[in-house]
């Protein structure tokens, strides 16, 4: 081989196999469900939310709705709806439009939604929440913390359960 010619190094199949085995990563939620793993790959302000869900809301499989909360669905074994994604505004349109309180309550029961992570001013998705707040019956009721009565006399409200640095957690309370 002429030293002036550029050489192309060959990557052998054995080298490729060694590298593939050495750096395999799989998205196994049971692996990432450890608090140390969460600290390793995320910001520390996620930790109190994670702790609250595991200690106060463990065993419940109700849906949580929020803005910019996709990361939580990988660590917590429960359903989440992240309204930070525009496609979810179309899929879950009743959450974002003006509807009657009766329709709202029925829809929340259908999607099994009882918890709402509302971003504070410090969180990046606050502007998306504020855009939703303009028309949404749901978020207007949450923001007012008022008791709402449906046409059949059923009363409900959204109560603040916890405050975290980036979020306030609200829960749906239905009075019988």
pLDDT per position as a tens digit, 144-170? 989 999 888 889 999 999 998 888 999
What are the tens digits of pLDDT across the range 37-51?
544 444 566 778 888
Residues of the domain holding 96:
42-175
33 vs 175: which has the higher pLDDT: 175
Q: Is residue 130 in some structural domain?
A: yes
Q: Which residues, 6+ apart, have CB-to-CB distance to 90 below 8 Å?
A: none
| Region for residue 87 given its phi and psi (left: phi exceeds 0; alpha: psi -120 to 50; beta: otherwise) | alpha
CA distance 163 to 161: 7
User: C-alpha dihedral over 163, 165, 166, 170, to 10 degrees?
Assistant: 0
pLDDT at 5: 56
Q: Which helix (H) or strand (E) holds 66?
A: strand 63-66
- Is residue 116 within 8 A of residue 123, CB to CB? The reply is no
Res. 30: pLDDT tops 70 = no
pLDDT at 134 > cutoff 50: yes
50 part of a folded domain: yes
Structural domain contains residue 14: no
Relative to beta strand 80-82, strand 63-66 is parallel
In a domain, 15, yes or no: no
Per the structure, the count of domains in the chain is 1
Element (H, E) at 139: helix 137-144
pTM for the whole structure: 0.73
In a domain, 30, yes or no: no
Which domain CATH number covers 75? 3.40.50
Q: How far is the C-alpha of 24 from the C-alpha of 30, rounded, in Å?
A: 16
Return the SS3 of 173: strand
Q: Give me the torsion for CA of 55, 128, 97, 111, rounded to 10°.
A: -30
């Amino acid at each position: 081989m002429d030293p002036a010619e550029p050489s192309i190094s060959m990557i052998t199949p054995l080298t490729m196999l060694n590298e593939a085995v050495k750096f395999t990563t799989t998205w196994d939620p049971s692996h990432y469900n450890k608090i140390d793993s969460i600290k390793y790959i995320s910001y520390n302000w996620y930790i109190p939310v994670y702790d609250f869900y595991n200690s106060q809301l463990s065993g419940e499989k109700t849906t949580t709705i929020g803005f910019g909360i996709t990361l939580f669905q990988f660590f917590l074994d429960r359903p989440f709806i992240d309204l930070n994604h525009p496609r979810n505004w179309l899929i879950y349109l009743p959450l974002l439009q003006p509807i009657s309180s009766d329709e709202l309550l029925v829809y929340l029961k259908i999607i099994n939604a009882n918890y709402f992570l509302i971003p504070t001013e410090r969180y990046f998705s606050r502007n998306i929440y504020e855009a939703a707040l303009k028309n949404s019956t749901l978020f207007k009721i949450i923001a007012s913390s008022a008791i709402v009565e449906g046409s059949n006399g059923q009363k409900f409200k959204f109560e603040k359960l916890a405050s975290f640095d980036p979020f306030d957690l609200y829960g749906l309370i239905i009075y019988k």
